[in-house]
A and B are shown apart, each in its own frame.
Chain A
């Protein structure tokens, strides 16, 4: 579904992505993980067209995304933090995005609004909403157009447990519907819970790419967190045997 080929990006002198290749499939949840500054968000932003790569390309359905904006019709994006125009109400915001993207899936919209409890905020000005509620608004916008690809940047940060659970259920449902889902997260247990595949980035390079289950099996560890830790330790050992 999404093909990342030799992606490179520098911000001024800092090389953030240094040749990342990856493959994201339909019907799977792919988690991009890695320490701070490893290039997770930049990779996502490259897919979204927010960041323009220096080198490399991204193919969606075998089409390059360069110089085109229509491919984003297939993408739903839930950013980490969201700010909206102060003077708009939630209702107006939804209307505005519908205006840009065309009709939304009314069932999904109704379902998300209901389960995240957004009905009460429909006529409220967006500036009065709390951080968590804004996050829910972002989720709504990401899901409601029923896109083929869902990209979620740290989706569960700041959400209450109930909403959190709904979000996970929703993601699993979408996955089963054959959607490609990309998410970043710090929380390994969460990734393990809903993810099928990880792409582990370190210092702008893809370090590990593979099925979560296989990783745990191969490293003979209990969970993803330990598996990643073990891989990192082994590498460090190999690079610097004295330690």
Chain B
């Protein structure tokens, strides 16, 4: 799995640097790709991987090893391979071409961190789905639907909501709504690094408080961790009761 992610991200990052771009521009270009590709690839691989190893899982389950270890082992194996592919794929070009200053390094690390969080989340979600649905086609469809919803539809709905109810004070609900979507959270973590100047147009005290300190970053990261833990634990719980 990582052997797919690695060349994709390596070639893209390397290419962007090779064309003479600076690290900050490469990061800006990568954000879109990371937010688009990582969840999609992770969710598809996660689903396929789980269904394809069904029979093998049966063999493992007949061994003296508890279900928790098998489930978490599968999860760790896949996410480790994907994360490694991603971190090296993006990391090697950045190390090769170098970064200018501390703030660029911080932005790069945020990109890495939020990317890895996305991988963990978008493997935990299909694992949960695969435990629920016995049928592979059903599971894969559900996974892709969820991806489509979280990466495109959700933001479209927020935009629609803001424009429709523009007369109401929406700043607070919009923040809460974003926290319900892991892709938005990862995105906001990046915004806090590279679009701070623009975000300062917000007048609301909530926004100031949220964006103006490291609190925004902390809360986003914390919510992302919750997004990993909940589907994973739910999946594990169902997996423990599942019949093979």
Which residues of chain B from 35 to 58 have a CB within 8 Å of any chain A CB? 52-56, 58
Number of residues from A at the complex interface, CB < 8 A? 27
**Are A50 and B64 in contact, CB atoms less than 8 angstroms apart?**
no
Give the residue name and chain of the B residue nearest to A87 (CB).
B3
Chain B min CB distance to A114 (Å) = 23
B62 contacts A by Cβ under 8 Å: yes
| B63 at the binding interface (Cβ < 8 Å) | yes
CB of B66 closer than 8 Å to a CB of A: yes
* Residue contact A69 to B65, C-beta cutoff 8 Å: yes
Inter-subunit contact B55/A50 (CB<8 Å): no
A50 surroundings in chain B (CB, below 8 A) = 58, 61-62, 243-244
A52 to B65, CA, bound (A): 16
The reply on A49 being an interface residue by CB < 8 A is yes
Q: A45-B243, A50-B243 are in contact. Are A79 and B63 (CB under 8 A)?
A: no
**In the complex, A83 Cα to B54 Cα: how many Å?**
8
Q: Are A97 and B63 in contact (CB under 8 A)?
A: yes
Decide: A72 and B58 in contact? CB cutoff 8 A. Answer: no
In the complex, whether A161 has a CB less than 8 A from a CB of chain B is no
Q: Report yes or no: B64 in contact with A79, Cβ–Cβ below 8 A.
A: no
- Say yes or no: is B241 at the interface (Cβ < 8 Å to chain A): yes
Interface contact A70-B58, CB-CB below 8 Å: no
Q: Is the CB of A79 within 8 A of B62?
A: yes
Q: Which residues of chain A are within 8 angstroms of B244 by Cβ–Cβ distance? A: 45, 50-51
A75 at the interface (CB under 8 A from B): yes
Nearest Cβ on chain A to B98's Cβ, whole angstroms? 35
Q: Are B61 and A73 in contact (CB under 8 A)?
A: no
Is B19 an interface position by the 8 A CB rule?
no
- In the complex formed, the residue of B with least CB distance to A76 is B62
Leading 3 A-B pairs by shortest Cβ distance: A83-B55, A77-B62, A73-B64
New A-B contacts (6) at CB < 8 Å, excluding given A69-B67, A100-B64? A50-B58, A69-B65, A72-B62, A75-B62, A82-B55, A83-B52
Residues of B within 8 A of A (CB): 52-56, 58-67, 241-244
A-B contact pairs, 22 of them (CB 8 A): A49-B61, A49-B62, A50-B62, A50-B243, A50-B244, A52-B241, A52-B243, A69-B64, A69-B65, A69-B66, A69-B67, A72-B63, A77-B59, A79-B58, A83-B53, A83-B54, A100-B63, A100-B65, A101-B63, A101-B64, A138-B59, A141-B59
